[in-house]
Structure 1
Amino acid sequence: MDFDTTLQTLGVNRYSGTTSTTKTDTSNLGKTEMDQNDFLTLMTAQLKNQDPFEPVDNTQMVAQMAQFSSLSGITEMSTTLKAIASKLSGTSLSDALGYVGKTVLTEGSTAYPREAGGIAGAVALEKAATDVSVTISDADGKTLKTLVLGKQDAGAVAFDWDGKNAAGEDAGEGPFTVKVSARNADGAVNAAPLVWAPVSTVSLGADGQPVLTLPGVGQVPLSAVWQVG
């Protein structure tokens, strides 16, 4: 048996042009990124198929091992950072339970009066407007009072109604319907009414995030809360 035959028996191809009949592994076709297993597979193949008369230099081997260690550390660090980010950006159910019994400012059109009478709320403006108004109606749709807020910048614009109708009479216990309108020189401006409502219960939504139940408003995600009273 000659030397080349002996090398082939050991699975070593002395010449780069030698054709291998080993079945090609197609399980990784379509992958666009290398992971730790791929790196280790390449290194093992390199060692297995190196020329025994010209083995990989020790310095190169140490450099490749350092790259592998670095890749492993970066992957683990990335996983850890993602977990931390998820925790920081999310609010657990136990945290959200602290909202029960408090009042929150959120988008809605139904408002209940305060103990002292009247309601407070805000208008969410997409952009600045020259003419902003709030119309408050009773349960039958009858207009009780229109508040003219005039020129306002974009954002949340607070309003306060004393609970009296246009004639100065007590408007009752509600609930009341709040509608808003806004305009500028270009036409209508997107605006939404924001009302204060008490939080009665807290539950988890389908996405696993806390959902607040507000009487007269319904269920709203915690992310929809503008302010906590």
Structure 2
Amino acid sequence: MSPQTAQTTQSNVAAATNTEQTMTGNPFLDGLRLPEESAVPEPNNQELTQEDFFALLSQQLSMQDPFKPVENDQMIQQMASFSTVDGITKLNEEIVNLNALTSSSQALQASGLVGQKVLIPSDTAHISAEDTSMKGIISTPEPVDSITVRIEDEKGQLVDTYTVDGSAGGNIDVSWDGLDKNGEPVAEGNYTFKASGKVDGTSEELPVSTYAHVTSVSLGTAATGAILNLRGVGGIKISDVLAVSET
């Protein structure tokens, strides 16, 4: 091999080596390197834009039969159709942005409920070191002389039982001090209110709603809205809240 040929070969090898991306082992320096060009071609956008439409329309006009030109009403109809479709697309984008803005605004307003208690359509509440008692509301279709209230744990076992006066009818306030039959504090966990009374001479189960402590608020989606995170209970949509209480 001649000296000139050897020199040319060495130059080509050096050039190829310089173009390769080598890793130094230093994350900061490696992050400063320019990314290599991707061999995968960019996907073609098959969407027909307004510029494409007018380009096709101009091509159609330039190649039309001069003895049978396109009628003005046909041209106007094509332009109107494209404008309608383009307007609907932009309107959908604006609606998506509006929904996102509404969800953020709703979550911001709902943040004022953090630290308060809300009435939810559930008969289950949480007992903890922070909340050692439970409160709720029994809904009666008519006045009931005596309502039997049962407290059950997560396994369905009876913890305590007592009666409340339901002669006023409507919504009857109910509470439990978190003590079992022996007067001992129960363990932390979820407990359920069960209420029954005689309606028209027949014993019936009565619906119970309970109060839960709001610990935080999640943004949610446009479909769900803001989500209230309740201590020991989980999340609930703000639209499902029946009432708000400070205590």
CA distance in 2, matches of 1:43, 1:184: 76
TM-score of the superposition, structure 2-length normalised?
A: 0.49
**Residues 201, 63 of structure 1: alpha-carbon distance in 2 compared, 3 angstrom cutoff:** closer
In structure 2, the partner of 1:228 is 244
- State the Cα deviation string for residues 55-107 of structure 1 (Å, max 9, x = none): 11234323432332233223322332343245436766544433221111122
**Residues 133, 78 of structure 1: alpha-carbon distance in 2 compared, 3 angstrom cutoff:** farther
Paired AA for residue 80 in structure 2? A
**Residues 221, 88 of structure 1: alpha-carbon distance in 2 compared, 3 angstrom cutoff:** same
CA distance in 1, matches of 2:105, 2:88: 27
Paired AA for residue 242 in structure 2? W
- State the Cα deviation string for residues 144-170 of structure 1 (Å, max 9, x = none): 4122536967xxx3424486x9xxxxx
| Cα RMSD, aligned residues only | 5.1
8 Å Cα contact 2:126/2:134 also seen in 1: yes
CA distance in 1, matches of 2:106, 2:74: 49
Using the TM superposition, give the Cα deviation of residue 209 of structure 1 relative to its aligned residue in structure 2, in angstroms. 5.4
In structure 1, the partner of 2:212 is 197
Larger fraction in helix: 2
- Mapping of 1:1-229 within 5 angstroms? 40=53, 47=61, 50-85=64-99, 87-88=101-102, 93-106=107-120, 107-110=122-125, 120-123=135-138, 128=141, 133=147, 135-137=149-151, 141-149=158-166, 157-161=171-175, 177-181=192-196, 192-203=207-218, 210-214=227-231, 217-223=232-238, 224-229=240-245
Using the TM superposition, give the Cα deviation of residue 195 of structure 1 relative to its aligned residue in structure 2, in angstroms. 1.4
CA distance in 1, matches of 2:203, 2:105: 36
CA distance in 1, matches of 2:206, 2:71: 70
Secondary structure in 2 matching 1:179: strand
- Give the percent of matched residue pairs that are identical in Structure 1 and Structure 2: 23
8 Å Cα contact 1:130/1:183 also seen in 2: no
CA distance in 2, matches of 1:210, 1:91: 13
Q: Which consecutive unaligned segments of at least 5 residues does structure 2 have?
A: 1-45
**Residues 46, 76 of structure 1: alpha-carbon distance in 2 compared, 3 angstrom cutoff:** same
